[in-house]
Homo-oligomer: A and B are copies of this chain.
Amino acid sequence: MPAIAFLECVRCHHHVSADVPQTLCPLCAGSLYVRYDMDSLKHTAKRVNPARYAAESAASLGMWRYRDVLPSVTPVTLAEGWTPMLRSKRYPNLFVKEEGANPTGTFKARGLCLAVTMAKHYGLQHLAVPSAGNAAGALAAYAAAAGIAAHIFMPKDVPFANYLEGVVYGADVTMVDGLISDCARMVGERIKAQKETGTDPSQVWFDISTLKEPFRVEGKKTMGYELVEQLGWEYPDAVFYPTGGGVGLIGMWKAFEEMEALGWVTGKRPRMFALQSSGCAPVAQAYAEGKDVSTFFEHASTFAAGLRVPKPYGDVIILEIVRASGGAALAYSDEAILASVLDWAKQEGIFLSPEGAAATAAYDSLIASGDLKSTDRVVLFNTGGGLKYTDMTAEAMHLRRPGTLPTSMPVGGIITPV
């Protein structure tokens, strides 16, 4: 595992040290990326090391199989990453990256695994996060594993699973009558107040919001390494990524850049598609209007809870990547998303999250319009398992447990054995 050379601002390219915890660029408040000495890595990092992989296959390495390109620290791990890549049974060139197999059931585990690992390394004692739900659950789990206090702020109407995770993992849970943007503001205000009132520095919360510290994106980049390795160290033609905060997409782009610098992959990078719900589509709207930055999306509402981010912090970077790659940012209705959840469950045996189904809805639509060819090799991310959304999906289906509401029983019935 390599030492971190420095942290680099993605906006003004200023360098800061990784010896102490950092949040944003001290000069311009841009997001910080982890940088390594790539020339030296080129000689030491291994793309494939058959002997090592065979020996290690017995362990549960997960995303730490890429430790040659991750910070040199002792991982706080729950066996995150190295998720399955499923080939669609109907579309032979479509692959579903099943992030539901991660601890806490979503891709959020990758970023929070690395961010909590580094927080432990730095000796931080209090981590705070605003979340649409799944980041809160993942932080709660990794903080519990690390013995660090987690302070999580979520909208009051997140999937019930997210609330329960916060409680069982012993986090300090605050449910907010608002959206993730309100949660973010509250976290910022709390930390400001702690500092102003002279709170013992060791007790001041560290804001672990995505892109406001350098390690969540660094953990998420492993999705980029994995998809390329799982395709035999080749790029696909396109990547479909459900976009709330959009940091998974940003992280994959960083991975592509690194892999090219290391000589691990060559050729044309994939077209990157950012998929949203029309109930909360700030990036798709900015893309359609030809803008470089998104506008706060008013009255955000969708059962794809993870997409309910009315103004993603990384909007500028996402729009840049989408355009540079020849992709697009697109939004689909909750009805189309639900229809795609049911289509994939019944036809493929895969229960997608609503977020993942925004991507499958997009795939169908782009194949139908001819913008995508059925021969194009596509990797589509199911960013979380469908089981994490039982209440949201059942509500969208107007489905209740048989017996609790007589009119809502779609199949079978309750039978009393004789």
User: Which A residues form the contact surface with B (CB < 8 A)?
Assistant: 48-51, 53-55, 57-60, 62, 78-79, 84-86, 89, 98, 101-105, 141-146, 156, 160-161, 163-178, 182, 185-186, 229-232, 341-342, 345-351, 385-388, 390-391, 393-394, 397, 399, 401-403, 410-417
Contacts and interface: CB of A to CB of B under 8 A. Distances in A.
B175 A412 contact: yes
Among A57, A141, A145, A349, the most chain B Cβ lie within 10 Å of the Cβ of A349
Contacts of A60: 84-86, 230
A341 B168 contact: yes
Nearest to A101: B101
A176 B415 contact: yes
B388 A177 contact: no
A84 B414 CA distance: 37
A346 B168 contact: yes
Contact of A399 (B102, B164, B347): B164
A185 B390 contact: no
Contact of A417 (B78, B144, B178, B417): B178
Stoichiometry, as copies per complex, reads 2
B387 A168 contact: no
Contacts of A146: 349
A402 B85 contact: no
10 contacts: A62-B84, A101-B102, A141-B351, A144-B346, A168-B342, A177-B414, A178-B416, A186-B417, A385-B387, A390-B390
Given A58-B232, A160-B394, A417-B182, A386 B168 contact: yes
Contact of A144 (B178, B349, B385): B349
A167 B411 contact: yes
